[in-house]
Structure 1
Amino acid sequence: MESVILLLFIMGLTFAQNPGQEIKILKQESDISPDGSYQWSYETENKIQAQETGQLKPGSPEPILEAQGSFSYVADDGTPISVQYVANELGFQPQGEHLPTPPPIPPAIQRALKYIEANPQVKIEERFKGQ
């Protein structure tokens, strides 16, 4: 499902860059195997490229679809954008230099997390027992 949404998003980029202008597809390939695995790719004349492969993994109660792929295009300001992704039971996991990343965890918080991990919490009632 994520793959279809992503494909529609990328195709939308093609039309949004030049409304009303026809953008030619230079290359397009797709293949679906009897085992449920697939692959597709395309490239347009305005430098949009996308590709994806997917396969079914054993899961409970049903098999799980795992897809891996990438897409790239040139943003309106001329910046090249490139995204690689995996989509599976953990959700859509994109990676790209232009995507924001969280700031590093402060050292004091890292120490606190290590302390919590090393010292399982005692129930509040036990901590204040006898006071």
Structure 2
Amino acid sequence: MRLIIALCLFAVAAAAPATNAPDYDGRYYNKYNDVQLLRYESDNIGTGPFRYAWEQSDGQRAEASGQLKNEGREDEALVIVGSYSWVGPDGVTYIVRYTADENGYQPEIEEGPGGAIPSAVLASLAG
């Protein structure tokens, strides 16, 4: 169960753009110093179901909820349903909606207007 949570958190971190990433002309920029947390919600007392959501001024956002399925039985599993999104350097908003359960991490990738999903994003999600 904790592995699924760790994988979900890793996926969110991996999707975040690097702080000092090269721009299209090869120069480095650091536009993330002024990012503001616009919304943060958390409902987690350490046991039972949980839910969280956050949104930043740079367009990044994430939300998830989870609960135990078949609690106390041999086939008990943690089920997490969530999504995360970010605005890429190309101006496109990339959205990943996922379910993580006894069948593994199952993402569905969506993008706004502006181009195809970068191969690096697909590779990071595929493992």
TM-score (norm 1): 0.62
CA displacement 1:6-62 (0-9 Å, x = unmatched): 334434655624557252211101112576110000001101011001010016426
Identity, in percent, stands at: 29
Choose from 41, 44, 60 the match for 1:29. Answer: 41
- Please say which structure displays the higher CA radius of gyration: 1
Counterparts of 1:63-102 in structure 2, within 5 Å, are 63-97=76-110, 98=117
CA displacement 1:61-92 (0-9 Å, x = unmatched): 26210000011111111111011100000000
Q: What is aligned with 1:6?
A: 8
Could you say if the C-alpha distance between residues 34 and 5 of structure 1 is closer, same or farther in structure 2, counting changes exceeding 3 Å?
A: closer
Paired AA for residue 61 in structure 1? E
Counterparts of 1:32-43 in structure 2, within 5 Å, are 32=44, 36-43=48-55
TM-score (norm 2): 0.64
Paired AA for residue 54 in structure 1? G
Structure 1 Cα separation of the partners of residues 9 and 46 of structure 2: 22
Structure 2 Cα separation of the partners of residues 76 and 15 of structure 1: 8
Structure 1 spans left out of the alignment, 5+ residues: 101-131
Structure 2 Cα separation of the partners of residues 39 and 11 of structure 1: 18
Structure 2 spans left out of the alignment, 5+ residues: 21-29, 111-116, 123-127
Structure 2 Cα separation of the partners of residues 87 and 74 of structure 1: 23
SS of residue in 1 equivalent to 2:6? helix
SS of residue in 1 equivalent to 2:18? helix
Structure 2 Cα separation of the partners of residues 87 and 61 of structure 1: 18
User: Does 2:69 match 1:57?
Assistant: yes
Equivalent residues of 1:15, 1:21 under 8 A apart: no
- Indicate the larger mover: 18-27 or 48-57: 18-27
